[in-house]
Structure 1
Amino acid sequence: MITTSNLFPNIIGQYPTKRKFEFYIRAFERTGIVPNIMLTAPKGAGKTLMARAFARNLILPNTMEPKRYIEINSATIKNLRQFVDMIMTPYMVNTEATFLFDECHMIPKDVTIALLTITNPNKENFNTFSYDGQDIEIDFRKLTFLFATTEPQEVFHALIDRMERIDLDDYSYEELGQILLLNTGTIKFSGDVVSKHIASTLRGNGRSAQKMASNIINYCAANNVRTFKKKDWDSLCNTLDIMPFGINKTELKYMRVLVKNGCTRLYNLAAKLQMTRAAIQSDAEIYLQKLNFIEVSSHGRQLTGDAKEMLDNNPHLLENQVAAK
């Protein structure tokens, strides 16, 4: 029996998404039709990886090969004319293909309006898009449309209404460790160095696990290491400035301000960090809030007990700062 593990052999975690994809693949084998799908998740969570794996399983019965897969960076779409001339006419006419519109919240408004017609679901599974005297037939038995975004709130609501929305899960530390091991080849790891020390620094992010795997491969090659041990991890952390929970310099600087000043208003933080308030909210605070390291209230920002415990356990992070109380 073919299961999700057979369909997605190298995809770690994301079991609800894989079950949904298996359902649509089985339906495609009988009907030749896949609904419009939108994948949402933070950057590095595997949206594009999942879309590619899904597309590989849309096998055409006449060739026993997957439909042609076309991946579009939505930021490169400038206007409707370009979209019709560069994408629709050459790739949607008289062909069978799967399209992924990556970061679809960046699609221009006129193209979004066109996509409302192109992707409109109906019982005939067929639409006609007219532009500049040209009628382009959209046959859902031939064309499959996938969308992915990190900013679903920025996507036009009427377009989302035409999609089956799938929100990817956060990765657990165990799953991040598996992604790391999958990408480090023949390197062995001593004891619990992956689960206890490395996984928590990957920011819940599959792409970060892949990048860390590359760093470990480079370290082992440069130092002739076959088994990666805790002392190797400590050395790599010192070299690459890897901090607990994978926090970065900006996030550490943010926490230091709160250690020194206590509850601090956003405009004061902006002045001390020399960042705009928007940059703080969209960059410096997101991961710290995910870790439950800061509390945001009408009075300002302050560290939580979890943050103070982490800093107490890692006093070197504060250097000459006032110790967290």
Structure 2
Amino acid sequence: MQVDNSSSCSNGSNFQYSLYSTTYILIFIPGLLANSSALWVLCIFINKKNKGIIFMINLALADLAHVLSLPLRIYYYLNCTWPFKTFLCLLCFYLKYLNMYASIMFLTLISVQRCVFIMNPFKAKGWKRRYDVAISIVVWIVVGAACLPFPLLRSSGLNNKNATCFADLGRTKMKVANMVSMVTVAELSGFVIPVIIIVYCTWKTRKQLKTEALNCQNMNEKCKALWMVIMCATVFFICFAPYHINFFFYMMVTSDIIKNDTVHRIATTFHPYSLCLASINCCLDPILYYFMASEFKREIARHGSTAMRMRLMSRESASSMRE
């Protein structure tokens, strides 16, 4: 579960709003270019959509959906007013939830799949593209449904005449038991279980490669698979671990369950930074495609060389016509 800071422009939180707007401005263009180009190459030029490529496409879709909502967030944090409809506010709020937890699920699936295929190469040969498609559909349905209540809980008192959004949305009051249960479920399913799986896959993959170190057959591909798993873990720990570690304490102090002043100060101060780190995944995820996926690099090189040859041919043709 993800919650923006509850302070407002009128309360003097200029630093937090500057932090949000600056972060979103910095990641918008790189995130847009990287994820749109990744989708273009992955969807159009790669015919063999297996071994995690389908999961990468879905990961890029999740990132692109969040990136496309950033201009509205930038506008709000720069102007401290929301002139648009309520629906757009809640949609942008929802997309940030969706991006975070869809990214977590697909990073976990990529790690599991690469690990399993290294452990059992015969499963890789028999694995069908439709399996990944079916799994992806299930992930979108489950994550989409699980994230839906969260923006609705932040729409308390919101109407089309309100000039606030995101960090200034009201929060629906909940019973302590219900709130603690929801936070616990979100932390376990959205962070604890995925991080255990990713760490285990990373350890198991490294162990398997050390065992097969004397056998040079397919070692290059297996090393690439190891780096893919390591990159998934890196993105996870940089972007999502800080937010989820802080989130539990943030919810406890803002609900007056934990009343310690030191914990309150640390949790509320670090919260906007953790939110910004969570959004950086839109720029880090494409590293999986550009530097770890051999299929992606081959297609980039092949179509890049084709484009270069076409430009050279067109120049030669123009030169011969002038002669």
TM-score under structure 2 length normalisation: 0.22
Give the structure with the higher percent strand.
1
Give the structure with the higher percent helix.
2
The structure whose RCO (Cα within 8 Å, separation 6+) is larger is 2
Point out the structure with max Rg over C-alpha: 1
